[in-house]
Amino acid sequence: MHKAVPIRAASIVLGLLGCWGLDLLCRAFLRDSEQRLVVLAGLYVTLAVSLNLINGIAGQFSIGHAAFYQIGAYTAGYLAFFFYLQSPLQGVGWLLAMLALGMATAALAGLVVGLPSLRLRGDYLAIVTLGFGEIIRIVVQAIDLTTPAGEQVGGALGMSVEPRIRIVGLVWLFALAAIAVSRNLCKSSHGLALLSIREDEIASAAMGVQVAKMKVAAFMIGSAFAGGAGVLLAHSESFISPSMFPMDLSFIVLTMVVLRGSGAITGSVVAALTLFYVPEYLRGLKAADGTALTVTGATLVGWILAVIAAVVAVRWIAYQYRGPRKTRLAGYAATFFGALLVGRALGWAFSFFPALSGASYEVQKLRMVIFAASLIIIMLLRPEGVLGRHEFSWDWLARALRIRRPREAVG
Amino acid sequence: MAHAAGLSLLASLDFGTLPSQVVNGVLNGAIYALIALGYTMVYGVLRLINFAHGEVYMLGAYTALFVSWAYGFRPDVPPDQLPESTLLTLLVMMLASMAVCAGVGVVIERFAYRPMRNQARISSLITAIGVSLLLQYGGGLFLPQNPPPTMNERVNPYRQTLELTLVRAPQELTTAVENARQLAQRSEAAFQERLKLEKDRFNLSPEGERLRDAKFEAERQLREAESRRNTAQVTVRVGAGRLAILVASLALMFLLRQLVLFTPTGRAMRAVSQDFDSAALMGVNVDRIVTITFVIGSALAGAGAMMTATFLGTSISPYYGVLPGVKAFVAAVLGGIGNIPGAVLGGILMGVAETLVIWAGYSQFADAVAFVVLIVVLLFRPGGLLGSSAVEKV
């Protein structure tokens, strides 16, 4: 027996148990709206990991990932509308069948998009993927079929997908599958071929890598997982419309991928979760009396100035300061607490100007502004991505917990 | 079946309006070209897709709106108290838009793109997306948007429609129309005369019915003669405002061409876009050139925004720049990104293609056609129409 087999088996069992446990926990403790958030988070993780395969591992610059998500969702939507009542499969069986079909359709679309990537590179490829995403959205928006019974399906207003099947565990199992596929691909010879294409296409072609085949394969696998996520979205939300798949969604997923550092899967997952939950958290903020939380213009301006000052300070410490590591860390800490103090103080000082203290803004409306601003700030402070190249593995966990294991036991 | 569908499609097209549509497409394309110039210049110099360019355009439209309010064209003023608009008003609005956009462009470059210049290109791209989202959603906080404001149409002094006959119909068709019109008028008069003698308007006597049928027949002949004449002659109908857009865009593009080709700054710009590092070694102040590039590109976007907001009267919102921005970017890539004549060509092609799709009755696909054209062109010329697709050397 290969040495890695027990670890792999343990990982699979742990993954299954974890998803089952998550499902049980969600059903027991969470309200319906909160379960929805957990589902969406899982879908975002899937999207980020699958785009990471195309963008981070194969190095093909794709910014139209929402298209594949949409293709999956609409495949499920139309099929459910026309065939669910006659089908022998019901419930979860139907969902699994749809998952397979949605993945296949999206992979086909990935093939169509992957083909131009053979001739185009860099920004040209990016704009073609962006264009493909927009074409899909516009076409889906323009098609509204009318059934013989006179019902309208699809179109700009969207369509409802019956039945509603929301299984938190399945969504996360799918996300884990995406993670496992990309992780194992990275360790295999095919993955190495992809990595070599990312680093230098011409050199890897000279070394005998089948560049065209590998590139298209990366596109197909990545889009298949996005399509599967779309199917899960359609059946979990029970409603889909073209406005759920805007260009911004592609950008946000791309951001999740870039923030993670170069090609790292762990980072994609962490970034996806953070970027998904922070805006949702801000959306849910309420004042003590239950009304929407507002901030005055004075507080806002104070915080903006404090954040700008902090960014300048951190950049100075990171790029100009040549002191020992300890002073540097102390400097970061001082900047953090200093910014908190300065923000408070400026907010108080500005509250004496009636023009500033009079204006008030809802935090809910601020959330996308905060999202965009933090994106720029993270890029300014850590352009290599938050987690850099660090990657989670059992080995790393063991080292972190200071468990010594003989080196050979690691697969 | 498919054959019949094709025939009915052809029959439903109105070829009489085709020349007008092409001209209007070119005029729409002029705006795309102006925005595309900003993308292409920044890309040429920095190799950066400036995603925030569309938002700069949006700010230009708002600036023009605010200046027009300052002139007294506020929405709450009753129509009879509005001031008169002159060319000077328009010029002030355009200069203000250009100035604000140039300022915003420089600030974005200095504080968001310059710190990222030595990093991987994808990081600056993400920064660009961040700036774009920040301006969109920040604009949503502070700018008036509910209901979406529109520029008062009285700001535009050129509101008439110009009509230009390119090919005249043959003489006999025109006289046939004249004769038919006279006949129709005579029979109509006779019928009206008869109607006064009738007791019951709805239950005519045989003589009345005969006159009524003659009137209908004469009208039908008039319509036929007119449609024969209209197919034979070619007229172009254009709004005067759109022509003003074309004239102003051409003037700006001409200025840009002179600047790039015949000034020291322009030469430095071309040098930087050819090779950033060598240009720096040759003593070109690269930072200054990049700043100037952003000033020019953003100012062109501001001029374009002011003109669309004023002459086309579209309603302004924080998302005003998203679609024009994307399409202009596509236009820049279509022409070969980094290539200034290419951007103009791409923009005009894009405008024409879009107008023709709307003309053919597929307006719901108008936004998609830009991308279809792009993908088709890139498949055959991966570097764009005028771009160089240099063979990569190892």
SS3 B71: coil
DSSP string, A157-178: T-EE-SS----HHHHHHHHHHH
Q: Which amino acid is at B31?
A: I
- Cβ burial, residue A260 (10 Å; 0-12/13-18/19+): buried
Decide if A136 is inside a domain.
yes
Nearest to A251 among B127, B129, B140 (CB): B129
Which of A125, A137, A142 is CA-nearest to residue A66?
A137
Give residue B281's pLDDT: 93
What span, in angstroms and rounded, lies between the C-alpha atoms of A46 and A182?
11
Which of A284, A313, A346 lies at the terminal end of a domain, its last residue? A284
User: A259 and A361: one domain?
Assistant: no
In which residue are the tokens 């462009």 written?
Answer: B105
Mark yes or no for CB contact A142/B365 under 8 Å.
yes
Domain extent at residue A361: 294-394
Nearest to B330 among A127, A248, A375 (CB): A127
Give residue A408's pLDDT: 47
Nearest to A376 among B130, B140, B322 (CB): B130
Give residue B178's pLDDT: 87
Chain A residues whose CB is inside 8 A of the B392 CB are 202
**Residue of chain A whose Cα is closest to the Cα of B126:** A255
Mark yes or no for CB contact A138/B365 under 8 Å.
yes
Mark yes or no for CB contact B374/A372 under 8 Å.
no
User: CB of B337 within 8 A of CB of B40?
Assistant: yes
**Residue of chain A whose Cα is closest to the Cα of B47:** A123
**Residue of chain A whose Cα is closest to the Cα of B129:** A251
Which of A284, A314, A345 lies at the terminal end of a domain, its last residue? A284
Decide if A409 is inside a domain.
no
**Residue of chain A whose Cα is closest to the Cα of B362:** A142
User: A230 and A352: one domain?
Assistant: no
Give residue B62's pLDDT: 94
User: A354 and A389: one domain?
Assistant: yes
User: A94 and A218: one domain?
Assistant: yes
Mark yes or no for CB contact A123/B43 under 8 Å.
yes
User: A219 and A189: one domain?
Assistant: yes
Chain B residues whose CB is inside 8 A of the A123 CB are 43, 47, 49, 333, 337
What span, in angstroms and rounded, lies between the C-alpha atoms of A46 and A58?
17
**Residue of chain B whose Cα is closest to the Cα of A142:** B364
User: A326 and A279: one domain?
Assistant: no
**Residue of chain A whose Cα is closest to the Cα of B123:** A383
What span, in angstroms and rounded, lies between the C-alpha atoms of A258 and A375?
10
**Residue of chain B whose Cα is closest to the Cα of A382:** B123
User: A184 and A266: one domain?
Assistant: yes
User: A259 and A310: one domain?
Assistant: no
- Give the angle B363-B366-B369 at the CA atoms, nearest 5°: 140
Residue B121, both tokens: 């290109």
What span, in angstroms and rounded, lies between the C-alpha atoms of A207 and A319?
38
Q: What are phi and psi of A85, to 5 degrees?
A: -65, -35
Q: What are phi and psi of B235, to 5 degrees?
A: -120, 150
B375–chain A nearest CA distance, Å: 6
B370–chain A nearest CA distance, Å: 8
**Number of CB pairs, chain A paired with chain B, less than 8 A apart:** 126
Sign of the alpha-carbon dihedral angle for A56, A58, A60, A64: negative
User: A269 and A301: one domain?
Assistant: no
Decide if A271 is inside a domain.
yes
**Which stretches of chain A drop beneath a pLDDT of 70?**
1-3, 147-150, 152, 260-263, 287-292, 385-393, 400, 402-411
What span, in angstroms and rounded, lies between the C-alpha atoms of B48 and B124?
7
A190–chain B nearest CA distance, Å: 24
Q: What are phi and psi of B212, to 5 degrees?
A: -65, -45
Give residue A391's pLDDT: 66
Chain A residues whose CB is inside 8 A of the B47 CB are 123
Chain A residues whose CB is inside 8 A of the B333 CB are 123-124, 127
User: A157 and A256: one domain?
Assistant: yes
Give residue B393's pLDDT: 47
SS3 B312: helix
Sign of the alpha-carbon dihedral angle for B357, B361, B366, B372: negative
Number of structural domains found in chain A:
2
Chain A residues whose CB is inside 8 A of the B377 CB are none
- Domain of A11, CATH number, reads 1.10.3470
Nearest to A255 among B129, B379, B394 (CB): B129
Give residue A410's pLDDT: 43
Give residue A332's pLDDT: 86
Decide if A27 is inside a domain.
yes
- Give the angle A390-A396-A402 at the CA atoms, nearest 5°: 135
Decide if A183 is inside a domain.
yes
Decide if A209 is inside a domain.
yes
User: A308 and A270: one domain?
Assistant: no
Give residue B145's pLDDT: 80
Residue B194, both tokens: 């008869």
Chain B residues whose CB is inside 8 A of the A155 CB are none
Q: Which amino acid is at A160?
A: S
Decide if A408 is inside a domain.
no
Chain A residues whose CB is inside 8 A of the B132 CB are 372
CA B180 vs CA B169, B194, B228: distances in Å: 16, 21, 12
Omega before residue B147 within 30° of 0, cis: yes
User: CB of A68 within 8 A of CB of A109?
Assistant: yes
User: CB of B177 within 8 A of CB of B225?
Assistant: yes
Residues B38-87 have pLDDT tens digits of 999 998 888 888 889 999 999 999 999 999 988 888 888 787 778 888 88
Chain A residues whose CB is inside 8 A of the B136 CB are 368, 372
User: A143 and A266: one domain?
Assistant: yes
Looking at chain B, list the stretches that DSSP marks H as alpha helix, in order from N- to C-terminal side.
Answer: 2-12, 18-46, 53-70, 87-108, 121-142, 171-197, 206-232, 240-262, 264-274, 276-281, 286-307, 322-335, 340-359, 366-380
**Which stretches of chain B drop beneath a pLDDT of 50?**
1-6, 391-394
User: CB of B148 within 8 A of CB of B213?
Assistant: no
E strands present in A134-270? 144-146, 152-154, 159-160, 239-240
Give residue B394's pLDDT: 46
Looking at A84-167, list the stretches that DSSP marks H as alpha helix, in order from N- to C-terminal side.
Answer: 92-114, 122-142
Which of A264, A284, A304 lies at the terminal end of a domain, its last residue? A284
Decide if A410 is inside a domain.
no
Chain B residues whose CB is inside 8 A of the A379 CB are 116, 123-124, 126-127, 130
Chain A residues whose CB is inside 8 A of the B388 CB are none
Picking from A55, A118, A121, A124 by the largest number of B CB atoms within 10 A of its own CB, the best residue to mutate is A124
What span, in angstroms and rounded, lies between the C-alpha atoms of A80 and A96?
12
CA B127 vs CA A50, A301, A381, B37: distances in Å: 22, 22, 11, 21
A135–chain B nearest CA distance, Å: 5
